[in-house]
Structure 1
Amino acid sequence: MWRSGLVRSLSRRYSRAFSVVSSSSNSVVSTPSFGIAFDIDGVLIRGGHKLPKAKRVLQSLRANNVPHIFLTNGGGCMEEKKAENLSNILDLPINPEHMILSHTPMREIAKTYGDKRVLIMGSHDVWHVAKCYGFKKVVSVEDLLHHHPTQYPFIHYEQRPAPHHEEPIDAIIVMHDPINWAPDIQVAVDVLIGGDPPGSGRPSGKQTPLFISNDDFVFSGAYPFPRFAQGTAQGYSDGARSTTRSNVSLYYIGAFTRCLKLLYEDLTGRKLEVTNYGKPHIITYNYAERLLNTISGQSEPLKHMYGIGDNPLSDIQGANNAGDEWTSILVRTGIYDGSKDPEHEPDVTVDDVYEAIKHIYKREGINDSTL
């Protein structure tokens, strides 16, 4: 239901936006047969400040009617808030319906779990986000710790009933970076094992379903060196495989979830089963591709999609694995420090987003005079 409404809304808004561009130039600008997915941090902005020529690039894309979206592993808020924040930094209006956060595709999980009790983990405003996405019975880690104060005995919690405490928890959804890892991991492991109280075990012995967004192990911000993120990624098996980024060992499974995985598997002897969202996973790139095609408004699917990012382990891996229609473009303005990653080689490497768009325009035969 929400998707059909999104399609109609996007088509109307996008058409109106570009009718203004066309009328101002007294010419009709046809929609190109390609689309672009931008990472945000390290590509358009860094440390809360816009990177050089980022605004000019987006203005040029609008002038040329190029479908484009913002595909970030950031989150913890609604798409409207992220778009407003980016608008303020770039001094350029950003349509929130062009914004895909790490947890945006999780809207579709609400079709299955909307009426069931779910543990929502993260920080910032993820519990509000979950309710807006359609999850009606949301519970937090703190709710459970107040209901069972001895569950994590190292912090004092006043006892009070948790919401919908008479019902089992049917899923864990990690939407954003958890802050207090120790109690969060303890509660998560207990809920994964299941039972009432959590940790007593499910009759079936099966693990509670776990959904996690955001694959970034580290991210680039105002601090001069990368910071740990919640990230997850498949590919971790017998030992951690890593590459080096700014003297930081980047594991193919991320920080918070790597800790959760190791502790759960050590305790239970069972493999942790995870459904991953965010970059580099195909669920997110399929979602992005559908959105770009919706924005284009054309009867035929777009022929090419370009993924522009600064992180080989998320942006480049994701675009490389998304299909032949996708081209990965790595920029040097973010977390990437020039180290070679033979497993995730970009199709193109450029200095910044301006050079990325110049490359795309040349390949697609578009005049770059608007840049």
Structure 2
Amino acid sequence: MSPMRYRTAIRSKIRLPFPFRSHLYSSESRIECRSEPRSSFGIAFDIDGVILGGRAPIGGSPQALKKLYGDSGNLKVPFVFLTNGGGIPESRRAAELSEVLGVNILPSQVRFSTFSCSGTKVSNLWLCCLEFMGLRLADGNFGIALFRMQVVQGHTPFRTLLRRYENELIVAVGKGEPALVMSEYGFKKVLSLDEYASYFKDIDPVAQYKMWRTKEALYCSSHLEESVPRYDVYSDRVSAAFVVSDPVDWGRDIQVLCDILRSGGIPGWKNGNQPPLYFAADDLEYQAAFPSQRLGMGAFRIALESIFNRIHHSTLEYVSFGKPNPFVFKNSEALLAEFRPSQYDDHITNSGCSHSHGFRTLYMIGDNPLVDVKGAQQAGHPWFSILTRTGVFKGKDNHKEFPADMVVDTVEEAVDFILKREGTF
């Protein structure tokens, strides 16, 4: 896999101090902390090639995860699943994992907190961020909605773009239900690429030969004559395109994306400014049920970029999320900290809004050196990388370019090593 490349169409001038945050809050949604002792370490698990091989558990993953719960069933070691996969809402993915692995994986939940910055040492930048995010309440205090989840997918950071595109027309690309994913994040004008393309006659010149097309695409095609677009796609420009999960029909998707991106947002129009393009991940390959690796979203991105740059006068601009982006690891620290009682209040009151979450060690257990290990290394302290041999990596020795801190055969062996190292085995 080639090194991660970032071509950023939008550059933020303000680094937001907390992750995955919406400006919509509900005081009804409160998460009570357990009375478990605060753990000094946490774990992030990759899924494909570590926890699951296709849809089946591998490497003793059910047994490994059960060791992270107490006798009463409460979580005693904070952990999250950190995957570049996706295509379905995090809550549904959590339910699927719970059923397959036999442990209770929390769906996405939100905790609402209010606080006052008076009498505390808070930087002007921090106050500007709070104002920018619309978090000042009527009484002059501030409100923060903190997401608490155990499943972080490649597209989870798309939540952070809600303020920009909430009421703008956007297109969601990929397998599963990409439009539903974006809708659940709060985006109000979302169309899947399947539906969007169905409103433009002959946009895919070989569509008639694709007998394997998805049910959604077939439904959209069969109802084209009688259907009316939910939005005015013929005059309303696409404000941004989001590749949420691995695309299914590469040929059609590349064609339609090129039409959108080089026309300024309306296929068939003359050249215009390229709308922003976001990728949930940039994996060249990943481990699925087939013995050898499968091409991932990074491969699709390379194909799209190569073609776009040949047919357009400007090079493709895009933003890639997902591992190994250090942003993902830093945000995972905050999510893991949400499982530590009173962490948030300590963070605001005692640390003056520091970025430290008090973990001595955070373990990344993955199967891909160029994604999992590289990401942990780039994130730096307190990340410790563990490489398994059940997925992409199958070498006898450590990886040469991105050597992990520890190499094991299975995820169960990795968890046993962690618990023994932390003195809790």
Q: Which TM-score bucket, shorter chain as reference? A: 0.7 to 0.9
Q: Name the structure 2 match of 1:243.
A: none
Mapped pair 1:224 → 2:268: no
Q: Name the structure 2 match of 1:326.
A: 383
Q: SS of the residue aligned with 2:248?
A: coil
CA contact (8 A) 2:49 2:367 kept: yes
Q: CA deviation at 1:132?
A: 0.9
Q: Name the structure 1 match of 2:3.
A: none
Q: Name the structure 2 match of 1:244.
A: none
Structure with the higher helix share, 1 or 2: 1
Q: SS of the residue aligned with 1:333?
A: coil
CA contact (8 A) 2:81 2:150 kept: yes
**1:184-227 C-alpha deviation (Å, 9 max, x unpaired):** 10011111113464253454xx3210010122222222222222
**1:60-94 C-alpha deviation (Å, 9 max, x unpaired):** 22227211111111211011211111111112221
Q: Which sits farther off after the overlay, 137-146 or 113-122? A: 137-146
Q: SS of the residue aligned with 1:61?
A: coil
Q: Name the structure 2 match of 1:353.
A: 411
Q: CA deviation at 1:154?
A: 2.2
Match of 2:85 among 71, 74, 79: 74
Q: Determine the C-alpha separation between the residues in 2 that align with 1:37 and 1:125.
A: 25
Q: Determine the C-alpha separation between the residues in 2 that align with 1:6 and 1:295.
A: 20
CA contact (8 A) 1:39 1:70 kept: yes
Match of 2:69 among 53, 62, 68: 62
Q: SS of the residue aligned with 1:306?
A: strand
Q: CA deviation at 1:55?
A: 2.2
Q: Determine the C-alpha separation between the residues in 2 that align with 1:196 and 1:30.
A: 52
Q: Which 5+ residue runs of structure 1 have no aligned equivalent?
A: 20-28, 231-253
Matches within 5 A, 1:22-33: 29-33=36-40
Q: Which sits farther off after the overlay, 158-167 or 33-42? A: 158-167
- The percentage of counterpart residues that share the same residue type is 34
**1:286-307 C-alpha deviation (Å, 9 max, x unpaired):** 2211101122233361232111
CA contact (8 A) 2:325 2:375 kept: yes
Q: Determine the C-alpha separation between the residues in 2 that align with 1:104 and 1:98.
A: 12
Q: CA deviation at 1:346?
A: 1.1
**1:6-53 C-alpha deviation (Å, 9 max, x unpaired):** 9996842x52xxx5xxxxxxxxx5222111111112212223222243
CA contact (8 A) 1:320 1:326 kept: yes
Aligned residue identity for 1:40 = I
Q: Determine the C-alpha separation between the residues in 1 that align with 2:316 and 2:202.
A: 25
Q: Name the structure 1 match of 2:301.
A: 257
Matches within 5 A, 1:148-159: 148-155=200-207, 158=224
Match of 1:86 among 97, 107, 113: 97
Q: How many residues align?
A: 329
Q: Name the structure 2 match of 1:141.
A: 193
Q: Determine the C-alpha separation between the residues in 2 that align with 1:55 and 1:89.
A: 8
In structure 2, relative to structure 1, the CA distance for the partners of 1:257 and 1:152 (3 Å cut) is: same
In structure 2, relative to structure 1, the CA distance for the partners of 1:73 and 1:8 (3 Å cut) is: farther
Q: Give the TM-score of the pair, scaled to structure 1.
A: 0.81
Q: Name the structure 1 match of 2:263.
A: 194
Matches within 5 A, 1:188-337: 188-195=257-264, 197-198=266-267, 200-203=269-272, 206-230=273-297, 254-297=298-341, 298=343, 299=346, 301=357, 302-337=359-394
Aligned residue identity for 1:281 = N
CA contact (8 A) 1:11 1:294 kept: no
Q: SS of the residue aligned with 1:295?
A: coil
Q: CA deviation at 1:148?
A: 2.3
Q: Name the structure 2 match of 1:367.
A: 424
Q: Determine the C-alpha separation between the residues in 2 that align with 1:2 and 1:113.
A: 12
Q: Name the structure 2 match of 1:343.
A: 401
Aligned residue identity for 1:120 = A
Q: Determine the C-alpha separation between the residues in 2 that align with 1:102 and 1:269.
A: 30
Q: Determine the C-alpha separation between the residues in 1 that align with 2:326 and 2:300.
A: 21
